[in-house]
Chain A
Amino acid sequence: MILLNLLAAPVGLIFWTSLAFIIVLVLLKRLAWKPILKTLRERNEFIDKSLKSAEEAKEQMSQLKADNEKLLAEARVEREKMLKEARDTKENIISEAKKTAAAEGERLVSNARAEIEKEKAKAMSDIKSQVAALSIEIAEKVLRSELSNKDKQAEIVEEHLKQSQLS
């Protein structure tokens, strides 16, 4: 008997169940599910957004880092180049200077040599003229002494004449 009651669905219970369930449904829909689901969705979106922005930031960071590295590398290359240029320039300058110095030296030496030659020639000619003057003087003196008597003069003339005939 009571088993049949189990399978029967009394109207009263159906009524109360419907009432209870509808009340629960309406109240929960408004006071629980709406705020809860809304908040959960917002939080999900917030987390998504945060993750995305974090990812973006990370990407930007790595981009920046790459840029930095590139810049650094470029700077390094630049430095290297500059150093090399400087070294080249230095070497150039040095070699140039050396060359110039050598040329100058050469020039100075040759100038000096020319001067020396000139001076030498001058000195020579001086000496020559002095020697000549001296010789003439000596000769004059010799002649004066030699020609102080008439015999001697005639002898010299004679001798000279002989020599010039012979030559």
Chain B
Amino acid sequence: MFQITDNKRLTKVSGLRKIIVSALVLTFAAVQGLANHDDEHAKSHDEHQEEEFKAGEMIMHHIADAHQIHFLTLGHNTPEEKHVAINLPVILLGENGLEVFGSGHFYHHEKHLDQGHGYEHGNYIMVDEVIYTKNAEGELTYGENGEILNDKPLDFSITKTVVGLLLTTIIILLVLISVGRAYKKKGYKAAPSGIQSLMEPLIVFVEEQIIVPSVGSREKAAKFTPFLLTVFFFIWIANLLGLMSFIGGYNVMGSISVTLVLAFFVFVITNINGNKHYWKHIFWPDGVPLPIKFILVPIEAVQIILKPLVLMIRLTANITAGHIIILAFTALIFIFGQGNPAVGYGVGIGSTLFMVFMFFIELLVAFLQAYVFTLLSSLYFGSAVEEAHH
């Protein structure tokens, strides 16, 4: 009798120990991951840094779009320096028509320019990830202030951001279509299960808490719901993807081009659906004296474009800012480490802790920005379809 209980307790203790050990292992793995993350930044910045570490440049490099997904540099500043990177296809539409080639052709042919350095391939020179057509001498032409005057081919390359977009698209489609199929198969009398249970509260939250109250009524909202739900999940998943720095650190929603497209959709949908009341409110507001109308109408008219523009900038700025802060903490380590490596390690501990904190904040921001974009779009749509009330 006593033996049995003792054994039981023993297994219980060993079970607990297992949990503690695995938790410790996980923690170490996480710290290791962060350390690697730091290394990655360190190494990629180090390729530019022979003389001095430039934090700003390093940060911008990580935020900006690129024609490759760069993971890390092995043996930097040595003859056998190696880059661990995925070279992405470059697609150019220039004078010679459509040209497709791997971006490795650029990255393997470094070219020293009059100002800084770039890469060349065929008829093109790439400086800071912008591709220019060579001039007659096969060089770049600089303007008075050092700006590059060369023609630019239309660059339809699958850049890092495009890959991020693609991954976002694939994740969203896989998840939501499977969820959609589950609903279709099970019908309304079955309780949701699996990933369905994860997505349902989100979908219901977006529909019931954001879209319907903002647009005004369920009937009016029905037209906009598919678009707004898509926008919400598109932004959210892209933001989450951007936080996973170890898979390339995509800054999808931090790219103006991406948010521009989303904002443009919002602009078009708002104004296509604008009813009489909406336009009248802009161009001939009720209950306003005539002289005031001369001031008010231009402001209201500008707002048609300004509202989506603000949407665009808010999203880009917020996501980019998050990335910049995390990268800045990383940069701190190397700024301090330059003088004395020991100080660098010391700062590294603090920086890492702050970075972990920031990652949690960014998790929130990823959701929050998706929420805000969806909410404001819903409000704009709501104002477009609002009926006159007296």
Contacts and interface: CB of A to CB of B under 8 A. Distances in A.
B256 A21 contact: no
Interface in B160-197: 161-162, 165-166, 168-169, 172-173, 176-177, 179-181, 183-184, 186-189
Contacts of B320: 6
A34 B258 CA distance: 26
Contacts of B200: 36, 40
Contacts of A38: 183
A126 interface: no
A27 B229 CA distance: 13
A166 interface: no
Chain A residues touching B, majority SS: helix
A32 interface: yes
A24 B258 contact: no
Interface residues of A, number: 38
A41 B136 CA distance: 65
Given A5-B65, A6-B256, A16-B156, A24 B234 contact: yes
A39 B260 contact: no
Given A13-B159, A24-B230, A36-B179, A2 B60 contact: yes
Contacts of A11: 154-156
Interface residues of B, number: 56
Given A37-B207, A40-B203, A46 B188 contact: yes
B261 interface: yes
A10 B57 CA distance: 20
A39 B184 contact: yes
B89 to A, nearest CB: 12
A17 B155 contact: no
B261 A12 contact: no
A43 to B, nearest CB: 4
Contact of B230 (A5, A7, A28): A28
Interface string A12-25: 11111110110111
Contacts of B173: 24, 27-28
Contacts of B181: 31, 35
A117 interface: no
A39 B187 CA distance: 6
A8 B183 CA distance: 42
A70 interface: no
Contacts of B155: 10-12
Given A9-B260, A10-B257, A31-B180, 8 more contacts: A5-B128, A14-B260, A24-B172, A33-B180, A35-B180, A35-B183, A36-B179, A39-B183
Interface of A: 1-3, 5-18, 20-21, 23-25, 27-29, 31-40, 42-43, 46
